[in-house]
Each structure stands twice: as C-alpha cells, then as structure tokens.
Amino acid sequence: MTQLLRDDEVLWLIVDVPEESEFLQGSKSKIDFRSFHQTDPRRCRRSWPASNGRQKRNGNVRCPRHPVYRMVKMSRACRVETKRKELRNVTGVLFVSMCALLLLVNVTAQGQEESASPAPEKKSYPEVPKEYEVGEETVSPDGRFAILYPVRDEDSNVDSGLTNLLVRLRPYDVLKEIESGDGVTWKGGRGAAAARWDGNDWVAVWHQRKWSNEGLVVSQIANDKIKREKKIWPEVVKYFDRDFKARFLKKYPGEDGYTFVSDEDRAKEIEFKDRKLILNIFAENKPNLAPGPVWSAELRAVWDLDKAKFDKVDFKPGEISVRKPED
C-alpha cells in the first residue's frame, strides 16, 4: 500500500508493507485494510492535503493523516528553528564585528588628529637676558611675574654662579635676587628656587633640596614692587631644633642633625588658602633608613599673611626608636 504526502518542501512517498499472509501470492484470504489503515483508502477522494495542514473530507468519512505526516511537520519545524538560531548567531557576530571596526576607526582617527595637531608654541620672552630662562611653572596667574633660572651648560654641567631672580616679564624688571643656598640654581637643580602664587600679589618662594623644600619666604607685590617680605623658615626651624636638642641629643649626643623630608602621602607642604599659608612640614634624622637611633617630628601650622605671624601651630614629636641593621 502506498500513500503520497506533501509539505511545502518535500514530497513523501510512504510505502506500507504488511506481513499478513493474505498478501502472499496465491492467497485466497480477503484483504482487511483496517488491520494496517484505519480507513479504507479507496473511500478517500484522491486529493493533496491542504497546505495549511487541515484534513479533507470525503462525504461523511474523514481521512486521517498518516503518522509519518506528523513526523514530516516536526522535521520541518526543527529545520526552521535551526535556521533561526543560525541567523541569530550570524547577526550577533556581525554586530560585534561592526562595533570593533567602528572603535578601530575612531581610535585611528583620533591618533591622526593628535599627530596632525601642531605642538604648542613655546612662549618667548625677548626682554629676558640670554643667560636666563623663564620657569613656566612659576609664572603668576596674570603672566606678568616669574622666576628666572640660569641657563644650564649641558657640556660642562657646572653651575654658572648666577642667582635665581624674581622678575617682571613685560616690561622687564628685576624685583629681587633670591638668596642662594647650597646646590645649583638651574631649573630643576637641587638648590634652585620654586614658587607658588596666591593671586598676583602674594608669592611663596623656597629652595628645592634632595629630600624636601627649605628656605621659605613670603613676599607681597604691589605696584610692580616688593611691598613686604617675611622669612618664615627660621620660625619653622626653631620648633624642630628645640625638640631635637631637648629630647634626642641629650639621650644620643653623638648623633648628627636632622633633615626635612617630603612625603607624597601627606598633605601638601605649602598651600595658600583664604589669605593664609598652610604648612605641613616633616623632619627625620635618618631619611635614608640607616640603622641607629631615629628621631622624627611634624609641624602643621597656619601663617596669617596680614598679621605676618603664625595663627596656629601644632607640633607633634615622633617616637624615638632604634633601627636595627638589616640582616
């Protein structure tokens, strides 16, 4: 017995091969189609199943679908779902690829723009003497005042002996020569001057040392001249000297002096705020971690610019200990 079934893509030929003896050649037994087909197919009108899957009727007889037909529908549904998943995967890959491509294009474009941008022009100060250069980081907010540094001789690497200058840039005029201490005075050298401004009329100047900053002086500028100047550093040092001699040298008279030390983990050492100068100064006798007796102290103070004196001082002596040599 054969039967034709069709879906939208495949034409199926279904062959039933019963094992009953009535189908053997020469058998006289009557064929009973109900044993392998619920309805006598000879009563069904020959017609293709509708594409929407609804069964056709022949009079009052309803021709049931063969079980294989359901298998066909399941197979087709599986193929459709597989194609949908493949399409979703391909769409996801395309989306990620497009995002990566756009990001690469954007980074490349920015790199080209940065490389194409001209380097900022270095400011020129034609009135400044040729043996000096301007410390750009020391220029006042209005651009009129700055500290000058002697030009470094890269060949000899010898200090020229010239002092740092606090000047008016245009028109050029020297406001004061900054006292030189130990070390060199060229830009970035140990011993060179540095500055911090509070507006355009107050400037704090100090010397850069190996471990910290020293020699703090505060100056007020008015009418392009130094109106008032106060050396704050001697006021700071006396607090440390008193404690170092009283607590440490009495116990360890053979020890040397101490050194002021900068620490990035602490607050800023020198900072202007509300017409006051905030100081955070730290000192230690062995900043190089050498073994032996160790002394330290810290000062936090507020200097009043108008009164020209300390408004608040908080001096904290550190614990005296003995550092053992490393094994």
Q: What is the pLDDT of residues 68-89, one digit of tens each?
A: 555 556 666 666 667 676 767 7
pTM of the shown model: 0.59
* CA 164/CA 184 separation, integer angstroms: 10
Q: Which residue matches tokens 């910290």?
A: 212
* CA 89/CA 109 separation, integer angstroms: 30
* CA 234/CA 251 separation, integer angstroms: 25
Residues 6 or more apart whose Cβ sits within 8 Å of residue 51: 8
Judged against a pLDDT cut of 70, whether residue 135 lies above it is answered with yes
Judged against a pLDDT cut of 70, whether residue 39 lies above it is answered with no
The chain-wide mean pLDDT, for the chain, equals: 78
Residues of the chain above pLDDT 90, percent: 43
The model's pLDDT over 189-211, given as tens digits with 9 standing for 90+, comes to 888 899 999 999 999 999 888 88
- Domain limits of the chain? 2-65, 127-228, 232-327
What pLDDT, on the 0 to 100 scale, is given for residue 47?
47
**Phi and psi of 237, rounded to 5°?**
-65, -35
* CA 203/CA 17 separation, integer angstroms: 110
Pair 165, 129: CB distance under 8 Å: no
What pLDDT, on the 0 to 100 scale, is given for residue 266?
53
What pLDDT, on the 0 to 100 scale, is given for residue 306?
92
| Residue 271 exposed, middle or buried by CB count within 10 Å (0-12, 13-18, 19+) | middle
What pLDDT, on the 0 to 100 scale, is given for residue 239?
96
